[in-house]
Amino acid sequence: MTKYFQNIWETVTTLLTGFGITWVHMMKIKKNNVTLQYPEEKWPRPERNIGFNHDDYNVIRSRLTVDINDCIGCLKCMRACPVDCIKIETVKADVRGDDIQDVGHVGITSNGSKKAMVVTRFDIDMTECCYCNLCTYPCPEECIFMTGGPNADRHHIDYEFSEYDRTDLIYRFAKKGTQEKMAKLMAPKEPKVKA
Amino acid sequence: MGIIHGEEMVLNIGPQHPSTHGVLRLKVRTDGEVVSDIYPVIGYLHRSFEKHCENVTYEQVIPYTDRCDYIASMNNNLGYAVTVEELMGIEVPEKVEYIRVIVSEFNRIASHLLALGTYGLDVGAFTPFLYMFRDRERILDMFEMVCGARLLYNYIWVGGVSHDLPKGFVETAYQFLDYFEPQVKEYNNLLTYNKIFVERTADVGVLPPDVAINYGVTGPNLRASGVKWDIRKDEPYSIYDKFDFDIPVGRGELGTIGDCWDRYWVRMREIEESVKILRQALKGLPKEGDVHQAIPKKIRPPKGSIYKRTESPRGDLAFYITSDGKPKPYRLKMRSPAFTSLSVLNKISRGWMLSDVIAILGSLDIVLGEIDR
């Protein structure tokens, strides 16, 4: 019999304790509100001093972006990718470090290295990307990064990053030249004969 | 007059069911409302992790380990990294070890918060779930600060970590711990000692220690049965031997040793122990040090094989790696703790009501990503 009343007592007291806690939270709802009304408000990204140093470099796992003018076509990012979502094709340039105006090829990167390769295709399929960030570390020119990387000031950060069509999520970074010029660029070259 | 046997019925729970914690299908043979047999059907989330690892390099395996136990990715990263390091004989700088312990203990708290919150949800308590998710969110925010990702981190690498801790991380971590410790008391008042919750969980689904050991159950589920076994203490990896913490074991305070309430309670107390470890680790974190110093240029372990286990929030997470001296693993086997926890379900839920099966399944804290791999 005592057990019976003890049970009732325990139930009532523990329930009231729980109600008390939720009541206190309800009273503090203005102060302690954590819900954000998404389309009007957005989650702030963690802030850091954005810079080239690895200590103060804001890492955000978002869309992969390539500064194609800086890309030397070394294929290191393609090899690092665990899901093979980066596809690069290159052609050897005639003269190392020269600009090729017709296809928008810039010969010298912002770090000052002369390019030996013309990138004719640089596609990243973001539907396949697993956001592991592994491709950004081996890049010698730091030209591939998740937006928010060292070159964040050059690109705006795409917050929603959504498209209506799946194919729109394949980003093509290589510059397009006219068809003739491209064909000329990609044509098999005559072997250099040493005199 | 013996026991009346009604007509038996096979009931399917899942694979799309909110309380199965993932895509798990349970074939339940019921007699009335009493469960006589359970056959878990798994494999809906199978991604061929082990075979896939044979085709990618050692660095590229790490994003895949993230996706095994996606609730506690840091601990999976750590388990893999520690294994490869031991195979290669890499000495890791002290700072890296401290960072690893900090992030993996934070992830243990986050994982347990999710386990406890959804367990409350399983037995009908909605409020604690929201409160626990609110606090888990703060941990995820901290991880976002550290490595940019909120769930699948790829943070702990072989020989180091991908980034140093950002400026102001230690202060944020202390702030969180100061805020979090009183919250645990609130959870206890709200859910742990709630009479309805205790009635649903105490004395239900008792897992005796001998059965647990025979089935290979590890982690909080084993400790709830009263077996004091924690890899962090018994076979210390990383720098866990430097920290002072207790191993909570189930004592059957409100029921029998090894019941659902004990499994819940062990997790709750493990959160407190993790807070203890975190305070010591944040205090001892070296200021100077390069986190990339010990990362090898090319990961090419010598010929041989290794089996190394670590304590993930779900138990004994182990990797078996055979190397043939090439940049890709010859064979990689992962022992997942949630798999063994699920295998014991049939044994401990026979004879219970159907609604108790949900409570028992929730208390085992399984993650299907890790079971199916």
- pLDDT at position B109, please? 92
On whether residue A55 sits in a domain, the answer given is no
**A21 is a domain residue:** yes
Please, how many CA atoms are within 13 Å of residue B285, restricted to the half-sphere of its CB? 23
Distance between B147 CA and the closest CA of chain A, angstroms: 6
pLDDT band at B151 (very low <50, low <70, confident <90, very high): confident
The domain that holds B191 is classified in CATH as: 1.10.645.10
pTM metric for this prediction: 0.87
The mean per-residue pLDDT over the stretch B166-187 comes to 86
Q: What is the CATH number of the domain that holds A133?
A: 3.30.70
Evaluate whether A76 touches A58 at the Cβ level (below 8 Å).
no
In a domain, residue B318? The reply is yes
Same domain, A23 and A115: no
B292 to chain A, minimum CA–CA distance in Å?
Answer: 10
Could you tell me if A7 and A96 lie in one domain?
A: no
Q: Is residue A42 part of a domain?
A: no
What is the number of CB-based contacts under 8 A between chain A and chain B?
81
Strand-pair partners of B34: B31, B353
Binned at pLDDT 50, 70 and 90, residue A54 comes out as low
Burial of A188 (0-12, 13-18, 19+ CB in 10 A): exposed
Determine the average pLDDT of the residues in B102-117: 90
Asked if residue A59 is part of any domain, the answer here is: no
Residue B62 C-alpha, separation from nearest chain A C-alpha, in angstroms? 9
In a domain, A54, yes or no: no
Residue B86: inside a domain: yes
Of the two residues A63 and B55, the one the predictor is more confident about is B55
SS in 3 state form for chain A? Answer: CHHHHHHHHHHHHHHHHHHHHHHHHHHCHHHHCCCCCCCCCCCCCCCCCCCCCCCCCCCCCCCEEECHHHCCCCCHHHHHCCCCCEEEEEEECCCCCCCEHHHCECCECCCCCECCEEEEEEEEECCCCCCCCCCCCCCCCCCEEECCCCCHHHCCCCCCCCCCCHHHHEEECCCCCCHHHHHHHHCCCCCCCCC
- Chain segment B267-321, per-residue pLDDT in tens: 988 999 999 899 998 888 888 777 778 888 888 888 888 998 898 888 888 999 9
Are A22 and A71 contained in the same domain? no
In a domain, residue B27? The reply is no
Question: Residue B1: which pLDDT band, with cuts at 50, 70 and 90?
Answer: very low
A108 and A164, same structural domain?
yes
Half-sphere exposure of A60 (CA within 13 A, CB side): 24
User: Residue B18 falls within a domain, yes or no?
Assistant: no
Interface of B with A (CB under 8 A): 56, 59-64, 66, 127, 131, 134, 137, 141, 144-145, 147-149, 152, 154, 162-164, 166-167, 186, 189-191, 193-196, 292
Chain A residues with beta carbon closer than 8 angstroms to that of B145: 46, 48
Contact between B63 and A134 using a beta-carbon 8 Å cutoff: yes
Specify if B352 maps to a domain.
no
Residue A48 pLDDT greater than 70, yes or no:
no
Spatial separation of the C-alpha atoms in residues B176 and B185, rounded to whole Å: 15
Q: How many whole angstroms separate alpha carbon B113 and alpha carbon B75?
A: 15
State the ipTM, two decimals. 0.78
Same domain for A179 and A116? yes
Pick B186's closest partner by Cβ from A21, A134, A146: A21
Q: Does residue A178 sit in the same domain as residue A99? A: yes
**pLDDT digits over A98-149, tens only?**
777 767 777 777 777 777 787 888 888 888 888 888 888 888 877 887 766 5
Answer whether residue B347 is part of any domain. no
Beta bridge partners of B319: B308, B334
Instruction: Report the number of distinct structural domains present in chain B.
Output: 1
When mean pLDDT is compared across A104-108, B49-53, B366-370, the lowest value belongs to A104-108
Nearest residue to B101 (alpha-carbon basis) of B239, B267, B254, B291 = B239
- Could you give the percent of chain B with pLDDT greater than 90? 5
Q: What is the pLDDT of residues B123-141, one digit of tens each?
A: 888 888 888 888 898 898 8
Which H or E run includes B28? strand B25-31
Task: Look at residue A51 and tell me if it is in a domain.
Answer: no
- In angstroms, rounded to a whole number, what is the distance separating the alpha carbons of residues B183 and B259? 25
CB spacing of B63 vs A21 below 8 angstroms: no
Rounded Cα gap, residues B153 and B67, in angstroms? 10
Residue B185 phi, psi dihedral angles, 5° rounding: -60, -40
Nearest to B63 among A45, A82, A148 (CB): A82
Statement to judge: residues A79 and A132 lie in one domain: yes
Contact A59 B190 (CB under 8 A): no
Residues contacting A162, CB < 8 A, separation 6+:
none
Residue A53, in any domain of the structure: no
A151 and A106 in a common domain: yes
Domain that holds residue A145: 64-186
Same domain flag for A13 and A68? no
Q: Are residues A80 and A141 in the same domain?
A: yes
pLDDT of residue B26: 87
**Count of domains for chain A:** 2
CB-CB: which of A10, A54, A134 is closest to B195?
Answer: A10
A107 lies in a domain? yes
Q: For residues A103 and A19, state if they share a domain.
A: no
Residue B180 burial (CB count, 10 A): 18
> What Rg value do the Cα atoms of chain A yield, rounded?
28
Q: What pLDDT was estimated at residue A191?
A: 62
Q: Is residue B303 included in any domain, yes or no?
A: yes
Q: A69 and A28 share a domain?
A: no
C-alpha torsion sign, points B265, B267, B271, B277: positive
| Inter-chain residue contact A15 with B148, CB threshold 8 Å | no
The residue segments making up the domain with residue B107 are: 47-341
> What's the pLDDT band for A50 if we cut at 50, 70, 90?
very low
Residues 6+ away with beta carbon under 8 Å from B203: B255, B256, B259
